Structure 1
Amino acid sequence: MFRRAVLAPLLGALLVLTGCQAITDDGVAPGRVRLLGDMTAQLQRASQRPYHAEYLLAEGTRGEISQQIGPARAVYAYPGGRLMVDPNGHTSCVTAVRPARCQIRPLPGPGPAALTGYSEVTRHGLVTAPIVTELLQAAQLQSQAEVEAHDVTLAGQQATCLDVSGLTDADAGGFTVCVTAAGVLASFTGVIGGVDVDQALTRVSSSPPAAVFALPEGARVVDHRPKTPAP
């Protein structure tokens, strides 16, 4: 169900705080659909640049999201495991055991299966941009959803936040999400599929460490991708 959004600027410098509702320079409060659409586009913007983000999660645990552009790949590290996504497939690892156990699967096709790997990460308390994008797009389609905007500063980064409530037939009935001007997820608070997510950015840089993209040392790897017949 994950659908790519067209790149568009978020409210950025146009936003000024008046209560909980952002007002643009022309004095008009942005509509619900526009707020949700702009944040969706801003998250897509971050997919086009490298970064390394560290997060404080619920119960004091830690998580990380790292992204590289050349070659294109991303790693989502959560307590006890990690998911690496690249053009060759999804590599999920359980790091709570020694040696670590990893499984490589082909990239899922479009539809609900496209979010399978990211949903597993969410079950461990770390929410990712594809999951947030799906929630924002669900809110765009539901006219009864209520959306309020405000600004915050997290880890030294200015971020725009949306408080979303009143959702039905979605993995979350309501949530608060914040995104930096560069499109990096700054925070998320809400219950997704029964999992209480409380995630806040603590540090971000534009240079992800090369080591985060390597498999855990000594990991036992099972490759589930179809074998290419020998010529």
Structure 2
Amino acid sequence: MRNTARPGTPRAPRPSVFRHLVLAPLLGALLVLTGCQAITDDGVAPDRARLLADMAAQLQRASQRPYHAQYLLADGVRGEISQQAAPARSVYSYPGGRLMVDAEGQTSCVTAVRPARCQIRPLPGPGPAALTGYHEVTRHGLVTAPIVTDLLQAAQLQSQAEVEAHDVTLAGQQATCLDVSGLTDAEAGGFTVCVTAAGVLASFTGVVGGVVVDQALTRISASPPAAVFALPEGARVVDHRPKTPAP
């Protein structure tokens, strides 16, 4: 049986962002996972399901380590993802705004105005609402690990989805990539995502919720600057969290 890719499948990163990629072998060969494989009782090819589940688990592991990642986004703008382990908190910065997430809540800031305007909301409960803040970040062209994990889980449930795996080196980091296509009833019909060995999102190309995302890692360090976790200087802050009654 000949391995083929469906027309329109995102197979390679866009040249504008990925022109410096250095291709590397994945176990010595490109894995093309299509309907030619055995199918489990739930209609999902086992190797394909394993690749999707492994990448989702890899992203989850990275949520417990500190790092500061800089990205080149579509149209040549920049974005950053910073994470701290103790206390656990993350910041997603994009042109004109940022989202800060910690155990106390989610703080979204508009930094394109002076003074900056920030709103603090309680952490949403489980379910679709849990991704609300991350969807807002995606609308500005920066995709995050929770959104990618949601897409990977959607692909696991759809037997018609096709997956191809390969390796790249990006910003000096070896990364495993998955090209996913054929999704229905998902935020993206297809996408290419790469994740480093440490579980950090290395790149993403696709249309998510109608937004073109073309994101590539340009620099990464293990020590995020302390300043990125602070509110913008002079910001006007509105706290929407329930007030704790006085004892």
Partner of 2:125: 109
Partner of 2:61: 45
**Shift in Å, 1:64:** 0.2
**Shift in Å, 1:19:** 3.8
Q: Secondary structure at the match of 1:116?
A: helix
Partner of 1:197: 213
Q: Amino acid of the residue matched to residue 29 of structure 2?
A: T
1:182 aligns with one of 195, 198, 210: 198
Aligned length: 213
Q: Amino acid of the residue matched to residue 217 of structure 1?
A: E
**Shift in Å, 1:70:** 0.6
Q: Is the 8 A contact 2:30 2:165 kept in 1?
A: no
Partner of 1:141: 157
1:122 aligns with one of 138, 149, 152: 138
Q: Amino acid of the residue matched to residue 70 of structure 2?
A: E
Please report the TM-score for the alignment, with normalisation by the length of structure 1: 0.89
**Shift in Å, 1:120:** 0.2
Please tell me the root mean square deviation across aligned C-alpha atoms, in Å: 1.7
Partner of 1:18: 29
2:84 aligns with one of 64, 68, 80: 68
What residue ranges of structure 2 are gaps of 5+ in the alignment? 1-24, 34-44
Partner of 1:99: 115
Q: Amino acid of the residue matched to residue 27 of structure 2?
A: V
Q: Amino acid of the residue matched to residue 225 of structure 1?
A: R
Q: Is the 8 A contact 1:17 1:151 kept in 2?
A: no
Q: Is the 8 A contact 1:17 1:150 kept in 2?
A: no
Q: Secondary structure at the match of 2:54?
A: helix
Q: Is the 8 A contact 1:57 1:126 kept in 2?
A: yes
Percent identity between the aligned chains?
86
What residue ranges of structure 1 are gaps of 5+ in the alignment? 1-13, 23-28
Verify: 1:211 aligned to 2:227, yes or no.
yes
Partner of 2:71: 55
Deviations 1:156-183 (A, max 9, x none): 0000000000000000000000000000
Deviations 1:88-108 (A, max 9, x none): 000000000000000000000
Q: Amino acid of the residue matched to residue 214 of structure 1?
A: A
Q: Amino acid of the residue matched to residue 243 of structure 2?
A: K
Q: Is the 8 A contact 2:82 2:91 kept in 1?
A: yes
